[in-house]
Amino acid sequence: MAIALILAAGRGERLGADRPKALVELGGRPLVQWSVDVLASMPAIEQIVVALPAGVQVPTGTIGVLGGAVRSESVRCALAAAEAGDPVVVQDAARPLTSVELVQATLAAVEHEGVDAAIAATPVTDTVKRADGEGVVTQTLDRAGLWTVQTPQVFRRAALERALDVPDDVLAQATDDAWLIERAGGRVVVVPAPPDNLKVTTALHLALAELLIARRKA
Ligand code: C5P
């Protein structure tokens, strides 16, 4: 059976809210509750551990742990608190519009022979350039084959445990956990995600998420 780790321990300063981002309301529910509700509705997931900032109430039906200083450290803390269970679904609380279908597709992809991790992702549609410190363009990347990656990210537990067993400075460089698998030589596959799986970083994203929820209900 699978287990799920929800990462909700970020401060979310770019949102400019009066409370931790996990508790900011979206459609009448705290942001973190959206991921909890999706994952708790899935019979394939037997346990949910949530990494939270200090002083935040643990969502009902989940195990709460104090998050770490950086994102992957929060993953390490949450995984250490989880009982046996494999694979491991990692979900950012900052992506409240995740869905049962997307988690299922990602869980299915990690079952393929030789796959260590399967990650939700979207093909890049903009042209991507690199610029130096003065803003002068130094390179235009070939966007064919480029993806922006998201959560859910699903891992074989042994591969994730090995990947997280690195010095703190390496952990601090990881903007996603799949990178830790890649640098250890593991095999990571992308799973196409719907365009509404947005990350709430600023007030604009929160407003967009509200609109998307209203559209889902319509
Ligand atoms: O910082 P970033 O935007 O990449 O955060 C993505 C997710 O990781 C958010 O849901 C945030 O709450 C979580 N996070 C965490 N612990 C940290 C930093 C971020 O759980 N130390």
CATH number at residue 49: 3.90.550.10
Buried b (16+ CB within 10 A) or exposed e, 159-175: bbeebbebeeeebeebe
Give the distance from CA 79 to its chain's centroid.
14
Structural domain includes residue 82 = yes
Q: Is the CB of 74 under 6 A from ligand 1?
A: yes
Relative to the CA of 70, which ligand 1 atom is closest? Answer: 21
Mutational test site, ligand 1, from 5, 6, 7, 52, max ligand atoms within 8 Å of CB: 7
The protein residue whose alpha carbon is closest to atom 6 in ligand 1 is 92
**How many domains does the structure of the chain reveal?**
1
Structural domain includes residue 142 = no
Structural domain includes residue 76 = yes
The type of residue at 178 is A
Buried b (16+ CB within 10 A) or exposed e, 56-78: beebeebbbbebbebbbbbbbbb
Q: Is the CB of 9 under 6 A from ligand 1?
A: yes
Structural domain includes residue 134 = no
Q: Mean pLDDT of residues grouped by 10 in the chain (218 residues)?
A: 97 88 95 98 98 95 97 97 96 98 98 98 96 98 96 98 96 94 96 96 96 90
Q: Which domain holds residue 191?
A: 2-119+149-217
